A and B are shown apart, each in its own frame.
Chain A
């Protein structure tokens, strides 16, 4: 009798074990991700300043936020940065992938060189580009001392152009990764269709335009989703490269949130800006993840 109960307990345990094993991770995610999101969103409706405080103020933080020129500048910069970063990375990644797909000698070496920036920290990338672009010691100084005295390249110190140096460094860091995604897509294309089209006399240009590139749709989508969420999260690179300056010329929502929350003691406004960042990413990620997970069923 005891033996039967024991066996029964064992099978019951076996059927619960998988859920038991999953539960610590799930608990961590529920508390530290979703619980925290709720807490932050709640804070964005309170009068929190240096520390969290629970006086309800409704939409006040949001209306204050949208009146701040600092926030407006951050959003404008994000618009320029995201548009250029996403489009340049995509075009460059696709072009390099197509070139690299032409039975290139030493493909492995070239691929390694294109991809290594992905392994570096944005702080390292930022440091390298910061001094290379610095007019005092970098490119401008190098060319001027070597005789081209009228050469000027001070974008990183120029309010109107500094944001483009952030684009340059960010593209340098991620375009190789995008190239790898497109290359994987290209390698998955069925050669028989291409051969048939070649027999019909299609030019390479038409093969790419009409057959190959349309088949890369999933790679385009993944690249867009990954790049846009990276763009919205860009923080370290700006800190290392320009510190948000000159003035506010390279401030982005992520740096705005950080300075309002931790150095200007405007936690309510900081939380409001973080909420807007989250909503933007959710609008891109949720439909994507939903479609991905449904397909796999």
Chain B
């Protein structure tokens, strides 16, 4: 993406520039507002929030809400905190991301370097699958998971996320491999290299950037999923998002807003960390995708 660094030829005057900076700053505050609210209110006692101090910095600093959200808050019927659900999410996300990325890489390789009649239609079918409203598959999926003995299990959720993630991972790798010089592959073929050898020795070593995009995309989507978790998870496989929703919507007892905010940050932390650490590659990948169309 060399074009991304190209500067515009537009010139602006001093007054216009000041206004532009002002607007940009204002919107930065708008985007940061909910994060600010979550962070400051997760480290103050409940009475400071209910007393009208939601926008203030904490007068008494406490990590009590974090501890409670993590290990002792009432989620559903058990006072377990969000901790077990956090691990449920990890156990679901890691295999689902790995499997869908590997399949996407192989599919992208076949669809660009071993083209055959009708391959574009097959790719179109896979791609459309990313955009369907998932309501259309909820009922048969629930039955299918039941038939396969995977109802309410983490494996069942992994399967669901792999199936509905393949389209995106295939799209990423296909676009990336499409610009990879096919001559190199033909040369390797003449030298007697087979299908997997070419993939392993030639394409894979240069797939780092797109693998990062695919992994970040899948990780974010699967970690943040609520619909599938709410529909198919059992007591021992509920992901973090479902647990957070149960915590916040609980109708019994005092509403502990500070615990809710701490819980929300806990649920957001993994994807936020990934975004901060590897976000540059992610944005670059998204931009490359949208420029190419």
Cβ of B200 < 8 Å from any Cβ of A? Answer: no
Which residues of B, 107-145, contact A by the 8 Å Cβ criterion? 107, 109-111, 114, 116, 120, 122-129, 131-141, 143-144
Cβ of B75 < 8 Å from any Cβ of A? Answer: no
Docked complex Cα distance between A122 and B245 (Å): 10
Cβ of B283 < 8 Å from any Cβ of A? Answer: yes
Verify B167–A29 contact, CB threshold 8 A.
yes
Chain-B contact segment, one of A30-38, A64-72, A80-88 = A30-38
Which residues of B, 221-265, contact A by the 8 Å Cβ criterion? 223-224, 226-227, 230-231, 241, 244-245, 248-249, 257, 260-261, 263-265
Verify A274–B129 contact, CB threshold 8 A.
no
Report chain B residues within 8 Å CB of A204: 10-12
Verify B131–A120 contact, CB threshold 8 A.
no
- Main SS class of interface, A: helix
Docked complex Cα distance between A159 and B28 (Å): 30
- Main SS class of interface, B: helix
Verify B224–A121 contact, CB threshold 8 A.
yes
Docked complex Cα distance between A277 and B137 (Å): 12
Verify B129–A33 contact, CB threshold 8 A.
yes
Q: How far is the CB of A27 from chain B (nearest CB, A)?
A: 10
Chain-A contact segment, one of B57-65, B206-214, B285-293 = B285-293
Report chain B residues within 8 Å CB of A253: 135
Contact flag A261-B139 (CB < 8 Å), given A99-B23, A236-B226: yes
Report chain B residues within 8 Å CB of A118: 220, 275
Q: How far is the CB of A201 from chain B (nearest CB, A)?
A: 13
Q: How far is the CB of A65 from chain B (nearest CB, A)?
A: 13
Cβ of A18 < 8 Å from any Cβ of B? Answer: yes
Cβ of A17 < 8 Å from any Cβ of B? Answer: yes
Docked complex Cα distance between A208 and B16 (Å): 15
Cβ of A213 < 8 Å from any Cβ of B? Answer: no
Docked complex Cα distance between A17 and B195 (Å): 7
The interface of chain A, by Cβ under 8 A from chain B, is 14, 17-19, 21-22, 24-26, 28-30, 32-37, 39-41, 43, 52, 96, 99-104, 110-125, 127-132, 137-139, 141-142, 144-146, 172, 176-177, 180-181, 183-189, 191, 194-195, 198, 204, 207-208, 218-219, 222, 229, 232-233, 235-236, 239-240, 243, 253-254, 257-258, 261-262, 267, 270-271, 273-275, 277-278, 281-282, 285-286, 289-290, 292-293, 295-297
- 8 additional A-B pairs beyond A30-B125, A207-B10, beta carbons within 8 Å, are A25-B107, A33-B125, A37-B137, A43-B139, A122-B226, A128-B35, A132-B33, A281-B133
Closest 8 CB pairs of A and B: A145-B52, A18-B114, A121-B224, A128-B34, A119-B275, A184-B287, A236-B226, A274-B135
The interface of chain B, by Cβ under 8 A from chain A, is 3-12, 17, 20-21, 23-24, 27-28, 30-35, 37-38, 41, 49-55, 103, 106-107, 109-111, 114, 116, 120, 122-129, 131-141, 143-144, 162-164, 166-167, 170, 178, 194-196, 220, 223-224, 226-227, 230-231, 241, 244-245, 248-249, 257, 260-261, 263-265, 267-268, 271-272, 274-276, 279, 283, 286-287, 290-291, 293
What would be 21 A-B contacts, judged by CB atoms less than 8 Å apart?
A14-B194, A18-B114, A22-B106, A29-B126, A33-B163, A37-B137, A40-B137, A52-B143, A113-B28, A117-B34, A119-B268, A119-B271, A141-B52, A142-B54, A172-B34, A191-B6, A195-B9, A235-B226, A257-B138, A274-B133, A278-B135
